[in-house]
Chain A
Amino acid sequence: MAFKWQEALCTSKTGFFIMANQPLPLSQETLAQFNRSMSTEPGASGPPRRRLGSISTRRSSKDQSKDQPHHRPLFLRSMTLPSSESSFLSPTVSNSHISMGKRFSFAGWHQGGRVSFSGLYLQQPIQEVYVENTYRMGPEPGCRFNASRTQQILQATLDSYLEGVCYSPDSCSQLCQMLADLVLSKLKDVNPPRYKVVCQVVVGQSGKQGIRVSSRSLMNPNTDNYTSAVFHNHSLFAVALVHGLYFE
């Protein structure tokens, strides 16, 4: 229904429609005249008064550079248009809520977000963050995963937290998780950028059983590494494994 109307708008420099079923482009003079007449009148009311889809050539400051070559006309926001084609701007249509509020630019409409009559955005449009390409293929020279320093941290943590602790089935599951989280938080501080860290802690009761803990990984030996630490006392043992993997 709005096809004819929009077509006309795009082609005309100053799109302006009055009350007619067929939209007619008008000159600047007529536009100015109309605006003057509108400003003198109190407001849109009265049966013979036609509600207007008034479109001015004012543009918001943001869109000046964009709109210069095109001279795109502006639209009013709140227009609930009837379905019939011919009666788009007909004065006899009662539920056309075309109001005389402020105008805003067509380009602004495209940017998304609703615009109030004062021209301000009601909701800030969500701006996507575009991160520039760093063209980095590997970690920086001094920023690799430091296995020896990580091992020292790991060993120190285990020793300090498990000194004199007795194995108990109820508390040791929490202890184990707590240790894993603690080690991770300590490593986050020393972790070089772009590295993912996987930390695993195994705590077991010291009995007369045999146990074997083994790990193998598919990774890039130039950039990635791992480290481990073991602690045991009379009642429990603990094994901590940390892998540092470079993330491109």
Chain B
Amino acid sequence: MDDDQSAEETAFVVDEVSSIVKESLEAVIGRNPYEQKRVNQWVSSVVEQCLGQLSKLSKPFKYIVTCIIMQKNGAGLQSASSCFWDNTTDGSCTVRWENKHLYCIVSVFGLAI
């Protein structure tokens, strides 16, 4: 019983993390169009909020949060990642979000200490 609980507490739960990310995207960007002047601030806010919420989970993880915001102009975008880590304890979560005017890709990597 204790082992199960401790395993759950120290595992990277993808659903939990993706819900945190989606909430912060909705809160920061919402339905705003792409604005050159504000995008810097948005990106910082999204990433900071995500990190803040993740650290509140109090799990023994180091986190890396990456955010890409791109204007919808017909151009293509690809993102890939490869990691040298421990498959059993570490995990990642990528959330693709969009509104009418922009695309947003947020990747969260959690590495167990």
A residues with a Cβ closer than 8 A to B are 167, 169, 172-173, 175-177, 179-181, 183-184, 187-188, 191, 196-220, 224, 226, 241, 243, 245, 247-248
Contact = CB atoms under 8 A, between A and B. Distances in A.
Contacts of A181: 82
A219 B47 contact: no
Contact of A199 (B62, B76, B83, B111): B83
Nearest to B36: A210
A217 B51 CA distance: 7
Given A176-B80, A197-B83, A248-B113, A241 B66 contact: yes
Interface in B3-29: none
Contacts of A212: 39-40, 43, 67-70
A201 B83 contact: no
Question: 5 tightest A-B contacts by CB?
Answer: A207-B75, A209-B73, A214-B43, A180-B82, A205-B75
B58 interface: no
A196 B84 contact: yes
Contacts of B113: 247-248
A228 B69 CA distance: 17
Contact of A176 (B69, B75, B78): B78
A200 B44 CA distance: 18
A248 B112 CA distance: 9
Nearest to B35: A210
A220 B113 CA distance: 11
Given A205-B76, A219-B62, 17 more contacts: A173-B80, A176-B80, A184-B82, A196-B111, A200-B107, A202-B77, A203-B78, A206-B75, A208-B73, A209-B70, A210-B70, A214-B43, A215-B67, A216-B64, A217-B64, A245-B111, A247-B111
A104 B39 CA distance: 76
Given A181-B82, A199-B82, A217 B77 contact: no
Contacts of B72: 209
B64 A209 contact: no
Contact of B68 (A202, A206, A247): A202
Contact of B78 (A188, A204, A210, A218): A204
A206 B73 CA distance: 11
A177 B51 contact: no
Contact of B77 (A204, A218, A224): A204
A218 B54 CA distance: 9
B62 A218 contact: yes
Contacts of B44: 214, 216
B66 A215 contact: yes
A196 B86 contact: yes
Contacts of B76: 167, 169, 172, 204-205
B67 A214 contact: yes
Contact of A200 (B66, B85, B111): B66
B88 interface: no
28 contacts: A173-B80, A188-B84, A191-B84, A196-B83, A196-B90, A196-B111, A197-B85, A200-B79, A200-B107, A203-B79, A205-B76, A207-B73, A208-B73, A209-B72, A209-B73, A210-B39, A211-B68, A212-B40, A212-B43, A212-B67, A212-B69, A216-B47, A216-B64, A218-B64, A219-B63, A245-B64, A245-B111, A247-B113
